[in-house]
Homo-oligomer: A and B are copies of this chain.
Amino acid sequence: MGAKAVTKGDTKTALLEAGMDIMRDKGYTNTGIQEVLSSVGVPKGSFYHYFESKENFAVEVIHHYSQSYTAKLIYFLRDESLQPLDRLKAYIDAGRDNFLAQNCCKGCLIGNLSQEMADQSEELRQVLSQVMGKWRDLFATCIDEGQATGQISKRYSPVELAEAFLSGWEGAIMRAKTTKNIEPLDIFNQVMFDGLLKA
């Protein structure tokens, strides 16, 4: 009994993990169901045992990614050993180093799928919008705390700063992915923190 029994749940999770990696790299349309199944070693034809459709698979992939990414965001944004502005900075610095370590490739699954699919699938658009809305709210809460302690500028509301932070970060990732150079992220970092957030 040395081998771990593989349950239906394990296989589904493995398919979601594989879909997450492949879709983040290649996008929705370029991701083949067969490639996902092969990478997990699941027999051809069993995909519909786990998912209704490719679209439904993508919805579950987004939820799966969102769960782990949101946990990571919360780890940074509720770290009470740091002041609110320093939490945002720690999050961005870690994301920047991670992106550089993967040679400015892939980027953000949610940003990639938003750009590709927002006009192609109303179901995906709604899920993507909900996930980014949740992230924006987490940023806004941290910014609100920073405004209360006087560390973050009160020139704009927490939601306005959080929206500018999120869209600026996503745009900078897209630019860096295209130039294959970290500079757009470093400029975002400097301008956003020194120019906008700092009180």
Name the contact of A177 in the complex, choosing from B115, B184, B188, B196 (C-beta under 8 A): B115
Interface residues of A (CB under 8 A from B): 25-27, 29-30, 105-107, 111-112, 114-116, 118-120, 125, 128-129, 132-133, 155-156, 160-161, 163-164, 166-172, 174-175, 177-180, 183-184, 187-188, 190-191, 195-196
Counting from the closest, the 7 A-B pairs by CB-CB distance are A171-B171, A167-B171, A115-B115, A29-B29, A114-B178, A170-B171, A167-B172
How far, in angstroms, from A119 to B129 measured CA to CA in the complex?
24
Q: Give the complex CA separation of A188 and B160 in angstroms.
A: 9
- Beta-carbon contact of A119 and B106 below 8 Å: yes
Give, as a whole number of angstroms, the nearest-CB distance from A54 to chain B.
Answer: 13
Give the copy number.
2
Alpha-carbon separation in the docked complex, A180 to B114 (Å): 11
> Known interface pairs A170-B174, A174-B167. Does A116 touch B119 (Cβ–Cβ under 8 Å)?
no
**In contact, A111 and B119 (Cβ under 8 angstroms):** no
Contact B156 A195 (CB under 8 A): yes
Is B116 a contact of A178 with CB atoms below 8 Å?
no
A175 (CB) vs chain B CBs: closest residue: B167
A40 to B120, CA, bound (A): 22
